[in-house]
Amino acid sequence: MTILWRGVGMQWYTTNMTSPLVIVVGTGNAALVAALAAHDRGAQVLVIEAASKELRGGNSRFSGGIFRFVHEGAASLAPLVDRADNAGRYADVLIPPYTRDEYLDDVMRAGHGRPDSALVSLLVERSRETVEWMQDRGVRWELTVGKLIDRTKLAPNGRYELPAGGAVRSVGEGVGLVDDLFAAVDRAGIEIKYESPAASLITQGSTVVGVRIRHRNRFTDVRGTAILASGGFESNPEMRLRYLGPGWDLVKVRGTRFNQGTMIQAALLAGAQPAGHWEGCHAVPLDADAPAVGDLRLTDKLSRYSYPYGILVNRDGQRFIDEGEDQVWLTYAKTGAAILRQPGAVAFQIFDQQGLELLEPRYVTGTPVTGDTIEELAMKLAIEPSALRETLDGFNTAAPANATFDAFRLDGVRTNSSLEPPKSNWARRMIKPPFVGYRVTCGITFTYGGIAIDTDARVLDTEGRPMPGFYAAGEVTGGFFFHNYPAGAGLMRGAVFGRIAGERAAAYALGER
């Protein structure tokens, strides 16, 4: 249904007053899912977006498109993944089942037991059915074959195992995901207004009755039930410094520049309750030469996640984390912060020839530095050669001489007690030169603190009561992630709660209180 703007004074009106309006703020995954769900439920929907049409899609468009959901292994994924697209790739990969308990445990363990268990349980419970719901609306899925490992470098017929919780992504990754969602939104006839940043909420006490949009020379008000899906505050250096702390104002942003936290601040001003880990964020090892904000031509290709197969040192040549603490998908999101704490906020991923075989294919966008000896590599990386030599020797002495290395599992190949910090898995001696180094820094992905919602995606006020007419989903919400995060849970959280927000907001708008 087309919405005509009459522009009387400051007000915008819908032409059809029999179909109450749901206003969705943002055009990322959470927003587009919410818009589709509200439309399905019979509401009239308007989407407003700060970015231009060219730059739409938020962080979701930059993402790897991986969705973490419950499944029963390879056979159970067959109806979901695009078999044609995976021709020849589907048969010879192993995909362990991913149970509800494992999912819950991964989020709760990563979050040091702090995540809101009611919200996380719902995320887990609704994960698989939401992926199917998205498929019904045109989102195409495929296996993540080739994402983590370049299979051409593995032994012929070698076993290849996908991470149970990260086995499926949208076809075309984040770009394909938002393309498919925009196509569905277009088919539904949902109107999107670009270059229309939401500035504040229109309220009557704790009730939200609309959204105010900022234009170059005026504001316009649009009345309706509001769903915020406007992302976190990771692109705003002032808020990063304020909430995340010193040094975070200068980090590189991996995704969109439009997630400025404007509507988080507006919601708090309107009486919404802050929730979650405000000092916490998802931040990863990123190519040190990455641009200051995400580049849509490169999306997530500058991420550097193969450090479990080598050692990670700072510019003093010292190791500073356990590179093999857990599967990379359970450690990468906190490793960016560890790098930020190092001198100059840089670090170096060092590999020997064995580790090099296991690099993610996206390392092709990087600039490897090679040395026939560790001293030569150190000099080229401007690290004191004797310091890096000492670190490598200490590591090799502490690593077992004979051990069964398994790249795809927690192999328990760990250093002995002489090494601090230890390397708890994949501690294979690095003895095959030439050595190769990649320079990395901290890249922020998204922030963990946000506004409080309940299991109906209703925004809660500072007294813990649902604010009538006000819903939220995705990165804008808090309470899900603390300290750390399992890969693929961000998009899944946005989709599960976007769908709930859309359905509930539509019911509210239609008067079904």
Ligand X SMILES: Cc1cc2nc3c(=O)[nH]c(=O)nc-3n(C[C@H](O)[C@H](O)[C@H](O)COP(=O)(O)OP(=O)(O)OC[C@H]3O[C@@H](n4cnc5c(N)ncnc54)[C@H](O)[C@@H]3O)c2cc1C
Candidate residues 14, 127, 206, 230; the one interacting with ligand X per rule CB under 6 A: 230
**Options 491, 505, 506, 509; binder of ligand X; rule CB under 6 A:** 491
Q: Identify which range of 27-35, 37-45, 107-115, 242-250 contacts ligand X by CB under 6 A.
A: 27-35
Which residue is associated with the tokens 């589709």? 36
Nearer to ligand X, 66 or 288 (CB): 66
Closest approach, Cβ 303 to ligand X, in A, equals 7
Q: Which is nearer to ligand X, 209 or 403 (CB)?
A: 209
Q: Confirm or reject binding of residue 31 to ligand X (CB under 6 A).
A: yes
User: What letter would DSSP give residue 242?
Assistant: I
Q: How far is the C-alpha of 28 from the C-alpha of 261, rounded, in Å?
A: 14
Report if residue 28 touches ligand X, rule: CB under 6 A.
yes
Cα 176 to Cα 54, 164, 181, 375: the distances in Å are 15, 22, 9, 44
> How far is residue 348's CA from residue 252's CA, in Å, rounded to a whole number?
17
Report in angstroms how near the CB of residue 161 gets to ligand X at its nearest.
18
Check binding of 258 to ligand X (CB under 6 A). yes
Q: Which is nearer to ligand X, 61 or 315 (CB)?
A: 61
CB-based contact 85:146 (threshold 8 Å): no
Query: Could you say which of 3, 20, 49, 457 contacts ligand X (CB under 6 A)?
Result: 49
Q: Which of residues 188-207 bind ligand X (CB under 6 A)?
A: 197-198
Q: How far is CA 66 from CA 155, 176, 329, 350, in A?
A: 26, 12, 11, 27
Q: Which of 171, 190, 192, 229 binds ligand X (CB under 6 A)?
A: 229
> For residue 218, how many other CB atoms are within 10 A of its CB?
9
- Cα dihedral 76, 79, 80, 86, rounded to 10, equals 100
Q: Which stretch binds ligand X (CB under 6 A): 74-82, 226-234, 317-325, 379-387?
A: 226-234
59 belongs to the binding site for ligand X (CB under 6 A): yes
For ligand X, the binding residue among 126, 240, 254, 315 (CB under 6 A) is: 254
One-letter amino acid identity for 414? R
348 binds ligand X (CB under 6 A): no
Q: How far apart are CA 425 and CA 412, in angstroms?
A: 5
Q: How far is CA 275 from the centre of its chain?
A: 18
Task: Enumerate the β-bridge partners of residue 71.
Answer: 98
Residue closer to ligand X, measured from CB, 349 or 445: 445
State the sign of the Cα–Cα–Cα–Cα dihedral 53, 59, 62, 67: negative
* 50 lies in the site for ligand X, by CB under 6 A: yes
Q: Is the dihedral of CA 466, 468, 474, 477 positive or negative?
A: negative
**For ligand X, which is the closer residue by CB, 65 or 224?**
65
In this structure, the number of other CB atoms found within 10 A of the CB of residue 137 comes to: 18
* Closer Cβ to ligand X, 329 or 395, answer by number: 329
**Member of 475, 486, 505, 508 binding ligand X (CB under 6 A):** 475
127 binds ligand X (CB under 6 A): no
Cβ contacts of 494 within 8 Å, gap of 6 or more: 28, 29, 30, 33, 60, 229, 473, 474, 475
Structure tokens at 284: 């990863």
**Segment near ligand X (CB under 6 A), from 89-97, 349-357, 460-468, 484-492?**
484-492
CB 315 within 8 A of CB 383: yes
Site for ligand X in 450-469 (CB under 6 A): none
Cis previous bond, 421, omega within 30: yes
Closest CB 5 distance from ligand X, rounded Å: 17
Choose, by CB under 6 A, the member of 474, 479, 486, 502 that binds ligand X.
474
Residue in 3, 21, 48, 440 binding ligand X, rule: CB under 6 A: 48
Residue nearer to ligand X on the CB measure, 356 or 467: 467
Closer by beta carbon to ligand X, 28 or else 422:
28
- Are 334 and 321 contacting, i.e. CB atoms less than 8 angstroms apart? no
- Nearest 5°: phi and psi at 379? -60, -40
> Encoding tokens for residue 378?
């150190």
Give the footprint of ligand X on residues 280-339 (CB under 6 A).
Answer: 299-300
Q: What angle do CA 480, 302, 242 make, to 5 degrees?
A: 45
Q: Nearest approach, Cβ of 48 to ligand X (angstroms)?
A: 5
Size of the site for ligand X (CB under 6 A): 45
263 binding ligand X? (CB under 6 A): yes
Rounded CA-CA distance 488/285 in Å is 17
Is 63 among the residues that bind ligand X (CB under 6 A)? Answer: yes
Q: Which is nearer to ligand X, 415 or 477 (CB)?
A: 477
Site of interaction with ligand X (CB under 6 A): 25-31, 48-51, 56-60, 62-66, 197-198, 229-231, 254-256, 258-260, 262-263, 299-300, 445-446, 474-475, 488-491, 494
